[in-house]
Amino acid sequence: MSAAPAAPRLHRGAFWTASQRQASSLHEISYRACFKPQLPRFFITRLSQPGDRVLDPFSGRGTTALEAALLGRRVIANDANPLSARLCAPRFDPPTLEAVADRLATLVGAPAGALDGLDLSMFYHPDTEAALRRLRDALGDDGVDAWIRMVATNRLSGHSPGFFSVYSLPPNQAVRPEQQRRINARLGQTPPFRDTGALILTKTRSLLRNLSVEQRTTLSHARRDARFLTGDARALRGVGSGSVALTVTSPPFLDVVDYAGDNWLRCWFNHLDAEAIGRDLSVPRSLAVWSEVMGDTLRELKRVTRPGGHIAFEVGEVRRGELRLEEVVRPLGERLGLRTIGVWINTQRFTKTSAIWGVSNNRRGTNTNRVVVFQKP
């Protein structure tokens, strides 16, 4: 009988800070279940070199891709949700604040946006909604327009006057209209007027606040061959075999997050079909189905990884901490011939969003970053 594989080395501790504001300000785009930039930085700096290709097949808001670009790596970002590329790609080409202000000034007199039968009155003042519809229909997909669309997408709804909407849930999860009506009734609120142009400029200023000339140059170089793909992580079309030095990713966790439902309003603003995307982004609620999807994904990642390259696969505790997904992922990779070099378990304190949802440590949600690191022989 062959011996069972040795237990992986566990690394426990606080390997990176949970403070997003210690990273580049360009990262500060909200997206449900995203990890902090320090996580990919930890692995990128240790497991790749400048000029290497770094991949994230579940890109989300593009944290791995942007951090890799800032570190001088070449990047591929893939996600099944086309919204991902629209949130990530514009930050590889950040305009100046003056350029954004000039473009917004030309949009003031743009034709009113088309009415589509969608009632958004529970979120927006009539004048704010009219301005949003104007932006939605007038903006293009490149350059400064792509930046403005990305920033506006991030400001659609939230829980402070910095967002276009009346008080709502945090910006990484848009409630449905009927839920917002209940929030309004409970709080006795009506949507106030918000100056969309002023808020876009404020957020732009914040995103650019610590971006240096050197970083702009680095991003410009990375942008030349950066690839932003939309598709299934199990079939990375156009990604050559053995072309990737490092993957740093976090797949959809088992039955935790409604990725499609959280983004319906963002999809509307970007002319995307939320229902179709929801079918593509359905998260398996069965551990057996989730394991099958992850096994197929790891097989594809093995294909695109060069010999000696690495895959850092971030998962977490779910179901009140009773299910540790790294214990599921590790044998999936090893059966494919990948070698586990260790599991990094980074402890962290919960964020404001977790407190809002009543999530406390060791109770619900993801309590730690748990990263299985494989190497391709």
Q: What is the pLDDT of residues 136-160, one digit of tens each?
A: 999 999 999 999 999 999 999 999 9
- Whether residue 253 is predicted with pLDDT greater than 80 in this model: the reply is no
By C-alpha distance, which of 235, 133, 123, 142 is closest to 189?
123
Which pLDDT belongs to residue 169? Answer: 87
| Per-residue pLDDT at 354 exceeds 80 | no
Residue in the block written with tokens 């378990």: 345
Confidence check: pLDDT of 2 > 80? no
Domains assigned to the chain: 10-81+225-257+282-375 (3.40.50.150), 97-207 (no CATH)
Where is pLDDT greater, at 136 or 117?
A: 136
Look at 87 and 171; give whichever has higher pLDDT. 87
pLDDT for position 268: 94
The model's confidence at residue 359, banded by pLDDT at 50, 70 and 90, is very low
pLDDT at 82 over 80: yes
- Residue 357 CA to residue 238 CA, distance in Å, equals 40
Instruction: Give this prediction's pTM.
Output: 0.89
For 14-147, strand residue ranges (E) read 53-56, 74-79
pLDDT attached to residue 234: 97
Backbone angles phi, psi at 111, to 5 degrees: -60, 150
Dihedral through CA 194, CA 129, CA 168, CA 252, nearest 10? -120
Higher pLDDT residue, 117 or 297? Answer: 297
Q: Render 195-223 in DSSP notation, one character per residue.
A: -HHHHHHHHHHHHTTT--HHHHHHHHHHH
- Average pLDDT in the chain: 87
Range scoring the smallest mean pLDDT among 89-93, 130-134, 319-323: 319-323
> Is 28 in a helix, a strand, or coil?
coil
pLDDT at 13 over 60: yes
